[in-house]
Structure 1
Amino acid sequence: MRRHHWVLGSVVLICLAAYASHVFAQDREALKAFETVQKVFQSPRCQNCHIPGDSPLQFDAGVPHAMNVVRGLDGKGSAGLPCATCHAQSNPPASYGPNAPPGAPHWSLPPATHRMAWIGLPPDRLCAMIKDRSSNGDRDFAALIKHVSDDKLVLWGWNPGGNRAPVPVPHDIFVTQFKQWADAGGPCPVAES
């Protein structure tokens, strides 16, 4: 009888170890995928509008926006100078020059109620913010995947026009990596001390 318990206990331990190894490998792959997510979210195309304050940034260098442009409560600029004053529904023709105001549908910043400011955040805090429904526009993983896959303003980052560098990761690879991270439950990197 003791031998039977020992064998059964050994089998259970082996199964638990195999399961733990599988989960660890899955988390490791998801964390690797999150590195791609971070690279995209913290590129100039994304973080110029995902700002901690109320003045957007512009250009690849992320300099403060000219003309004292501000977020406004809804993220669409001030009452006297909405974003749509200069930013149209699409990029202007190349003949307008390399620094003409770019355009995409619903050009705006995140509203003041959920700024989603990513500039300078370490990976663990960026990860937590992306998943936090109180700061991400009340989006679950399915809504986040749809947002990064289909939103016209998000897609603009891969075709920014002018002399702006596009997001540094191809969109299809980014979406695949985002889904892999999300499908694993969105594990976050551990903060470095």
Structure 2
Amino acid sequence: MNRPALALSLASALVAAGLIATFEPVNGFAETASGGALKGAADFASITDARQRSKAIFAEASRVLTHPRCINCHPATRSPTQGEDMHPHVPLMIAADSSMGPAGLACSTCHGAENRAIVGSRLKSIPGNAHWQLAPESMAWQGLTVREICEQVKDTERNGNRSHADLSKHMGEDHLVGWAWHPGEGRSAPPGSQPEFAALITAWVDTGAECPD
């Protein structure tokens, strides 16, 4: 059985067993429904103090970073969460030392290179991306304040050894980051777009990469 067929087979089995009822979208979110507009750097031009402007810009960018599409894969433990309510992944997955999933059941077993619709189920679709994986343990965001996430994002020892310039490029060009705005049927998307988000990160860096209080 090929990978897409295996993923659909597993999803069908979970539906039959009644194990994925909690996947039903919360609050009526539709496919790639927008989380609203995202302010641009120009919207913060009236803040004359560069440090305060930098803090305000990151606070706006955090609307993306703390959205379920992002934070589900940046869990507090090595177990991803899912859905708008960030419930435990079904079936339970414990990534342990790997970001690619546990031994014998890699993330790619079910998550293919693209989203796959599931007709007639509450799941709606299986999310997919060629680089699908859990964030490294050092990048766990769930349970952190916006300031704590900010400090973690710019800490090279915890952000994959990325410089500030690397952060702007990662946020703007990484294909898995971009997936968040194209999450498949049954999931909401974060506010704005990937280019708008990346522009905020660049503006934050350019104003000193200050973290909100």
Fold similarity call, TM over 0.5? yes
Structure 1 residue 144 displacement after superposition: 1.0
Structure 1 residue 165 displacement after superposition: 0.2
- Decide which structure has the larger Cα Rg and report it: 1
Structure 1 residues 68-101: Cα deviation after superposition (integer angstroms, max 9, x where no partner): 2122322000011100000001111465856232
What is the distance in 1 between the residues matched to 2:95 and 2:114? 20
Q: Percent identity?
A: 35
Segments ≥4 residues shifted beyond 3 Å: 93-98
Structure 1 residue 183 displacement after superposition: 1.2
Out of 184, 187, 203, the position equivalent to 1:161 is 184
**Residues 74-89 of structure 1 aligned to structure 2 (within 5 Å):** 74-89=98-113
Residue equivalent to 2:148 = 125
CA RMSD, aligned part only?
Answer: 2.0
> Retained in 2: the 8 A contact 1:90–1:102?
yes
Structure 1 residue 44 displacement after superposition: 0.1
Residue equivalent to 2:135 = 110
Out of 115, 129, 140, the position equivalent to 2:163 is 140
What is the distance in 2 between the residues matched to 1:142 and 1:97? 43
Which secondary structure does the structure 2 equivalent of 1:68 belong to? coil
Structure 1 residues 153-188: Cα deviation after superposition (integer angstroms, max 9, x where no partner): 110000000110001233222111111001122111
Count residues in correspondence. Answer: 167
**Quick one: which amino acid aligns to residue 93 of structure 2?**
V
Which secondary structure does the structure 2 equivalent of 1:67 belong to? coil
What is the distance in 1 between the residues matched to 2:100 and 2:174? 16
What is the distance in 1 between the residues matched to 2:165 and 2:179? 21
Residue equivalent to 1:27 = 51
Out of 195, 199, 203, the position equivalent to 1:176 is 199
Q: TM-score, with normalisation over the residues of structure 2?
A: 0.72
Q: Gapped runs of 5+ residues in structure 2?
A: 1-46
